[in-house]
Amino acid sequence: MSFRVEFSDSDKEAVELQEGDCLSEKLTIQNSPILFGCRIGICGTCAVEVLEEKGDPLHPRTHDETEFLGTMAPDRNKVRLACQIHINTNIKIKKTEI
C-alpha cells in the first residue's frame, strides 16, 4: 500500500511512499525540502511539523524521539523527527526549527 507525503510551503512535489518506509531512507535533496543530518534522531536537522494526517494517525514517537523532542521542543506535540517517521498514513509536513 502506498501513501502520499506532501510538503507545505515548498515547491517540491508530493511523493508516494510504501507503507513502512522511513522518510530518511526515501527522501533526498532532489525530492524533498527536508534535510537530514545524522539520520538516527540525535541532531534535530530533520525536524518537521506534521500539519495533517489523512487516515490513521502516524505511529507514535519512539522512546528516543520522545526524549530528544521533550528537551528540544517540549511544548510542540506536532513536531517529529522525519528520520524517525515510518509511513503508515498520508501526511502533510513542513520543515521547522527546534
pLDDT in tens, 18-46: 999 999 999 988 899 999 999 999 999 99
Question: What architecture does CATH give domain 2-95?
Answer: Roll (3.10)
- For the chain, give every domain's residue range: 2-95
- 47-54 and 79-81 strand pairing: antiparallel
Is 0.85 topped by the overall pTM?
Answer: yes
